[in-house]
Each structure stands twice: as C-alpha cells, then as structure tokens.
Chains A and B, each alone.
Chain A
C-alpha cells in the first residue's frame, strides 16, 4: 500500500511507502492522523498549507459486507477545526484496489484560475498506481448531472469519479465532495464541513480513478477473515433494522421522520418546535407508498456502494414515473422539509437533486434556508421559493453566496438570533432539547454539530444497544463518549455506520468486525480494544482543534436552547457545562 501525494502547485505526483506508524490505520483514523501530523492547525482552510486527504477504510476493497466507505478529511472552512466526512461509493473500493491507502492533495496553483482533473490508474509495467493531470476548465460552472456523464465517457466505463460542483468552486462553507453513485451520477456526498471548497481551493475539480489491471487485495489471514465476514453478515441479515426488507431496506433512513415526530424531537420551523404537522406526508413510509403508485410496483431500496447488504438508498420519481432524486435521506428530507415547514415530497426531492447538481450539503442547505425564512427572505413552507434560493446558491448571486456560506454566517448577516450551530456547523435532524445525549455529542464532537459522531439516538429513541430516557441528561456524558469512540473505530474500518444497529444488539456481529480487522492487519485486537482504538483517533482530533484555538467554551449548545422551551415537551437544554466538559476530561 502507498500514500499518493498530488502537488497542485506543480501538478506533480509522488508515491510513498506507508510509514510504519500508519500501517494499521485507515478511514477516519488515517485522515485525522495525517491532518494532525502534517497540517498547521492555524492555517487558513482555503490556503496552500491545508491538505485534503482521502482514505478508504481498513477493510475497504475486501469482501467484508457493507465496507466500501471512505473518509475525506481536511481543516474545515466551515468549522475551522478538523473534519472527516464519510461516503459510500465504488470510488472508495477503487482507490483501495489501486493500493492507495491515502491520497493527499497538497498546495495550490499560484495565481488565479485553472481547474484540473487528476486521473489515477494502474501502471502494470511498474506494478504501482500512477497519476496524470488534465485541464478541467471546460467542466467548471456547470450542473454536475451534465458533466459526470461527459467525464465518464471520456475516461471509459472503468473510471470512477469524485468531484466538486459550483459550491466548491465558489468556496462555499457549504460544499461537499461528490462521488459517483453506482450508476455514475453525482449522488454520494462527503457533504459536511465545506470540503468541496478545500478541493476547489487547490484547483482540483475531479479525481478520476481507474483500477483496471490492479491485483486483487491480499488478506493476511483468509480463514479468520471469512469467519468474521460470516458473523457480521449473519448479524446484519437477521437484525430487524438491517435485514432484507427490514425497515432500512423498505423505508430508507427517512423512516425516522415519524418516530422523531412522535418523540417530540423532530426539529421544525428552524428549531422552534419538536413536531411537524406534515411529518407523515414526508416520511419514509410516504415515500414507499408514493413510489409504489408512481412505479406501479413495490420498490425496495438499493446500495450506495458495491458489497452493501443493507441497501437503504431510496429513489424518488415524478408523477410521470421519471427519476428525480436518488436518494432522499432522512437528513435531507428533514432539513429541506420539516425544518422549513415544507411538506411536499416533490419539492423536497427537487431540492435534493439541486444540492447534488450544485455540490451542496443537504443538511447545511436546509438549515440555512430555514434561517433565511426566519430572517424574512421567504415564508416558511414555501417550497417553490426554497427551490429558487438553492438556484441562487448555484448561480452565485449575492444572496446565494451568503446562503452558501452556511447557517451561522447567514444567520449573522440576516440578523437571526436562532442559529442552530455548534463550532459553525449546523445541527442535523435531532433536537438536543428533546434528546439530551445527541446534544452532548453535538456539543463535544470535534466535528461541529454532527449526529454520526456519536449516535446516541440508538438507545435514546430506537432501543438499540440499550434503552434510556431521551429527556434525561443522566449518564449521557458517558453514553456519548462511548458512542463517539466506537464510531471513530467503525469509521476507520470502512464499514458503514449502519452496521452498528446490528452489532450493538448482536455480540457475534461485533466480534466479526474485530475478526475482519485482525485478519487484514495481522493484529490481535479484541472487542475490548475498540473503545481505546477509537479514543486514539479522538485524541488526535482534539489536539488539532486545541491547537487551532478551540477551548471548552466551543463545546456548547447555542444559548437560545437554554431559555426557549421546545414544544411539545416544553423542555430546554439543561445539561450542565460540567457534564459536557466531563465527556473528554478523561480521554
């Protein structure tokens, strides 16, 4: 395995052996380690000293189930801290097949203008990957649904595309990195934290991979690997959440709309209520039923990446049966729906499509639109105006550029006090006042408000991995810490985080993951090592953020949540600061 470095000032590449200290790392563990070790914490995120790092998980490229996930990391222009954003795609598998443990994009072109496409392929003669640069200006400023097919056509069926849209070109704090889905469309995003802008700042428009000819990945201990793979697959296939035709495969992630609404924790009207009258109209069940009518048959969900056996990605179709968006995730559905009081799935799906066309993060987009609505730019509930505002972001109008800066900046410009952000990143689809543990995760994770960093919703709402009262702060600091550490480990393996639903309830599934990792790395880890391995990652991320200027004062929930009671439970954020500081006090 190698580290491949792309130097964007000179457009040269360099292939390095993986240093001994990095041989056991992958995914988030590796992106965060490289950023910690190589990026000056106080650098400008869009300047030449930041680095954009791609790393497939430890297991990515093997036949481990649901393991084609990849981490993208950098210093975030949205938060000013370290960032890891995760996506599943065939690109993730391809970079692992090329033997590239990490792709590090460094420097930036001198002077203005000029975008490049990096093409990475297998050099059979040399027995290693190689890279070439091509001018990419012809693709700039365009809808990604137009340009991805052009790039695919140019580089052939074996090519896998990652790129940025207009949002990244315009250096928006709200901009993601788009990976092609299994049908070549720009639908799989490392969305959060403005990483598209970091890629754009380096003059890099696309990274195209072609692993054709690369040898198959070798696993150090194949029998142990097969044993682990079998145990994990059995857990995934038997758990009610993750099994075929289970809730994720049937209703997608948007199945959570109704339960969060019942629990009074579905953020509505820019985080001013915990229930949305239109929830049932936009829920995963409504998507399933409407698709059945519009396609004239039941449609179960598909995979985001090769080898996924959970398959949770839905598709939304127009009334005439043509495809609009793939997929409408819970987070997107909520952000662009309930949080803006929009209850029309056709409008929501169109907004998802536009976010993918322009290179925007759907969460940050929805939370920013809601702030704009509160600031009087458009009425709540007006789907057509919301669509128009996303077009403004895509066209780069003055209003569009303000909105593209993200929720915190837009709130400041528009004089909106209710800005639901932590460390500059907007909150996702769980109300911290009604679900205290996830609020602790939002406050204390290194990432800015991020549900995936420590998904305490599992025991607080879903009775997975235990059952605790969401309204009580009791014991939640410990709960959040344990989830954050375990998550940092899973994000390093390349497994989808959704395997957690199965392995938190089925112990043999958890053992299977550790078996797989040991089989690939030749290690002797046990299940008990998982938390300490995760903590190693969190320590590096915390150290980077501290060096960047973050203190305990940044591990806080916005003030309005401490004095505005949230209906229907009329609860405020009442977790003491000492509890927040205790989360990593003993790390």
Chain B
C-alpha cells in the first residue's frame, strides 16, 4: 500500500539515503514522500523503513490524529512526523 509522508523540523535529512535518492522532490521538501509498504504495516514499520535513527521521531500524526508506533496504517494515509518540538 502507498502512504504519503511529510517529515518536519530536520527529520527529512535523517531519512536513509537509499529512499531519498529516488525521491528528489521529497528530498527538496517540495512534495511529500511516497512510500510503499506491505498491507498491515504500522507506524513503527514505517519508521524502520525510513531508516530514521532510534528516538528521532517523537510525534506522528496520521490523517491529523496523533498515533503511536503500533497504529496500523491504511492505504493512502497521510502521515506527518516530527522530532520533539515546542514553541508558543
């Protein structure tokens, strides 16, 4: 299944080179990253697939709702991933 991933606050640069090499627009941040995963994959599976260093992804939103690593993804889900951030 395909999911669309947006990576924020420096996380894009931490995705494995193998994935970014085939997605120049996503590398430049001008479009989301399209990722194909086996059916039934979870948020945690997605993080592993992206090769993000352990603990770097702190907040994950799926279709606008905050989800944990064991949340099962569905085809065409929109995923936003953030490191620890704060502001005001």
Contact = CB atoms under 8 A, between A and B. Distances in A.
Interface of A: 239-242, 246-248, 250-256, 258-259, 262-264, 280, 283-285, 289, 312, 330-331, 451-452, 455, 457-458, 461-464, 467, 469-471, 497-498, 501, 568-569
A152 B25 CA distance: 49
A240 B9 contact: no
Nearest to A245: B10
Nearest to B12: A285
A495 to B, nearest CB: 14
A452 B88 contact: yes
Given A262-B61, A264-B64, A462-B59, A285 B88 contact: no
Contacts, number: 95
A241 B86 contact: yes
23 contacts: A239-B84, A240-B58, A242-B86, A247-B86, A247-B87, A251-B10, A251-B85, A252-B87, A255-B8, A255-B9, A255-B86, A255-B87, A258-B82, A259-B80, A264-B64, A284-B87, A285-B8, A331-B88, A461-B59, A461-B66, A464-B86, A470-B66, A498-B86
B87 A330 contact: yes
A48 B77 CA distance: 60
Interface string B63-80: 011100000000000001
Contact of A284 (B6, B9, B80, B83): B9
Nearest to A569: B64
What is the interface of chain B mostly: helix, strand, loop, or mixed?
loop
A263 B9 contact: no
Contacts of B10: 250-251, 285
A262 B64 contact: yes
A258 B9 CA distance: 9
Contact of B84 (A241, A330, A331, A451): A241
A279 to B, nearest CB: 10
B86 A501 contact: yes
Q: Among the interface residues B9, B59, B61, which one has the most CB atoms of the partner chain A within 10 A? A: B9
Contacts of A255: 8-9, 85-87
Contacts of B84: 239-241, 246-247, 462-464
Q: Among the interface residues B58, B61, B64, B88, which one has the most CB atoms of the partner chain A within 10 A? A: B88
Contacts of A280: 29
Nearest to B80: A262
Given A253-B88, A462-B85, 18 more contacts: A241-B84, A241-B85, A241-B86, A247-B9, A248-B87, A253-B87, A256-B85, A259-B85, A262-B6, A263-B64, A263-B66, A264-B64, A285-B8, A285-B29, A452-B88, A462-B84, A464-B86, A497-B88
Interface string B5-20: 0101110000000000
A428 B86 CA distance: 16
A486 to B, nearest CB: 14
A573 to B, nearest CB: 18
A463 B10 CA distance: 18
10 nearest interchain CB pairs? A253-B87, A240-B84, A241-B86, A262-B80, A256-B87, A247-B85, A501-B86, A264-B64, A262-B61, A258-B8
Interface string B44-62: 0000000000000011010
Nearest to A283: B8
A327 to B, nearest CB: 12
Contacts of A469: 66
A462 B9 CA distance: 13
A462 to B, nearest CB: 5
Contacts of B80: 258-259, 262
A457 B61 CA distance: 15
Contact of A455 (B29, B66, B82, B88): B88
Given A247-B9, A568-B64, A240 B88 contact: no
Nearest to B56: A240
Contacts of B8: 255, 258-259, 283, 285
Contacts of B64: 262-264, 568-569
